[in-house]
Chains A and B, each alone.
Chain A
Amino acid sequence: MIEIRGLWKRFGDLLALEPLNLTIHAGEVVALVGPNGAGKSTALRILAGILTPSGGRATIAGRDAVTEAVAARREVGYLPQKLGVPTTTVVGDLLELVAATRGIPFAQAAAALAVAGFGDRMGAVVAELSGGQRQRLLLACATLGDVRALLLDEPSISLDVDGAEEVRESIRAAVRRGSAVLFASHYLHDVALLADRIVVMVNGRAIATGTPAALAAAAGIPWREGNEAVDPPIERVYRVLVKRGQEHALRGPLHLVQGDAA
């Protein structure tokens, strides 16, 4: 569904994203994790058509993300890290715009938004909403219709415990409908609960790609499925892998888990 081949991006002297190869299949959830400046958002923003890649290629449902950007975006629901709409926007106006771009009737879109708790807030201005409400609004808009790919940059940011669970449930619902999901997050709890595969990124480079268990094995940490709440090994795995990535940053390529990037 999402094919990334040798995608890279340079901002002036900064190589923000080294050539990235990744395939995300329909109904699969892949998480991008890593410290700030690792290149997670850059990768998502290229796929969403916000940035132009310096090289490489990406396709979404067979559409080139650069040369067929509009067609590719028809298949995508994108949630940026920042708000990304004017704060003077009225909820109903935004919904009408998104519904029109997805080709779904306004009433159907409004019903979906009502489920997200905005049934009586169609006339509200975005500036009046809390940070968490804004995040839920944009996520609800991003997941409207049967998008084939979801690109989410920090979907749980600004959310309380219940809000974060709602977001996870939205993502699971999209996956059940067959969407491919690529999301970036600093919340490793979300990553452990949602991701089928994880891409660990450091300094613009994907240093490890694999299932949580495979990454744990690479980090030398025992992995116990379903024990996230009690003893989250994902955090230890993350720290070990990121540390190794940072240590090897000046010493050439490092790829801890081979073979399942595609």
Chain B
Amino acid sequence: MIAALLRFELAAARRTRTVTLFAAGFALASFVVALVGLSAGGAMAVQGFARTSVSLLQLVVWVVPMMALLTGAVAGAECHELEFVVGLPFGRRQLLAAIWAAWTLALGAALVVGLGAAGVVIALLAGAADGVRYLALVCVAWLLLAATLALGLAIGVTARTRARAVGVAIATWFVLVIGVDLAAIGALAILPPRDAGWGLSLLLLADPVDGARVLGLGLFRADAIAGPTGAALQRVLGGWGAWALVGGLVAWTVVPLAVAGRWFARRDL
């Protein structure tokens, strides 16, 4: 029955123009970023994948959360209109999980198309060195997609109306992508370096977008690309650091989904 529910939601997600537009737009943007990145670094540069991926990472951490938060918020708000579907014999938590899984698969496929197109360009122009790390970048993008989609669903389910859900999703995007960075800059200016270090590390776990950004940077010889900052980053990500960030992104997926499921299961439709 769960499989049937997932098939139903996946079919619905596939049919919307959102996925097609996202795939086309992301592929185009990735393609352009890859070309610009390669021309800036020299098409024959040894670090073609590394340098270009850092540019693509910026695209990922800006576009993917926006797309996922909006999609999740709208899907979550629309749950309140699915009276016939909710009246069928499965739990509301299962319905939410199916919606999340379906959109993660559909938008994730679009993400693969986009990053795949850019990857082909990079491999053709600058060689396949670091290709495996590039695949890891796709995985980081997927983790970010899954987390922000779950967050968007939680926003949509609790906001109830589409307009309110979209508004809160956009505000959340600003906070995650820009607001937290501003807070980090402020913290650095105010706090002594030792305290700021701890604060910034915690901030990486508290913000899935920054967590994904740092995780992505760590994949590509950050010391070579970002100089001393990158070297410091490599130290942070050494040992358990990277796994802690992956854990943070997984937590950002599981917790909002659990909260949304609990809220949705207990409320009147």
Contacts and interface: CB of A to CB of B under 8 A. Distances in A.
Interface of A: 11, 45, 48-52, 69-71, 73-74, 76, 78-80, 82-86, 88-90, 93-94, 96-98, 100-101, 125, 138, 141-142
Given A97-B4, A100-B4, A50 B12 contact: no
Nearest to A138: B84
B195 interface: no
User: 8 shortest A-B CB distances, which residue pairs?
Assistant: A84-B84, A100-B4, A84-B83, A78-B87, A80-B83, A73-B89, A74-B89, A97-B8
A50 B269 contact: yes
- Give the interface SS of chain A, mostly helix, strand, loop or mixed: mixed
From B5, B15, B16, residue with most partner A Cβ within 10 Å: B15
A89 B90 contact: no
25 contacts: A48-B83, A48-B87, A49-B87, A50-B83, A50-B87, A50-B268, A50-B269, A69-B91, A70-B89, A71-B89, A73-B88, A74-B89, A78-B84, A79-B84, A80-B84, A80-B87, A83-B81, A84-B84, A86-B78, A86-B81, A88-B12, A88-B15, A93-B7, A93-B12, A100-B5
B191 interface: no
A86 B16 CA distance: 11
Interface of B: 1, 3-5, 7-8, 11-12, 15-16, 78, 81-91, 266-269
Nearest to A97: B8
Contacts of A71: 89
A211 B233 CA distance: 79
A51 B92 CA distance: 12
Nearest to B91: A70
Contacts, number: 87
A82 B73 CA distance: 22
Contacts of A82: 81, 83
Contact of B90 (A52, A83, A88, A101): A101
Contacts of A100: 1, 3-5
B86 A85 contact: no
A86 B88 CA distance: 15
Contacts of B91: 69-70
A79 to B, nearest CB: 8
A97 B5 CA distance: 6
B87 A83 contact: no
A83 B88 contact: no
Nearest to B84: A84
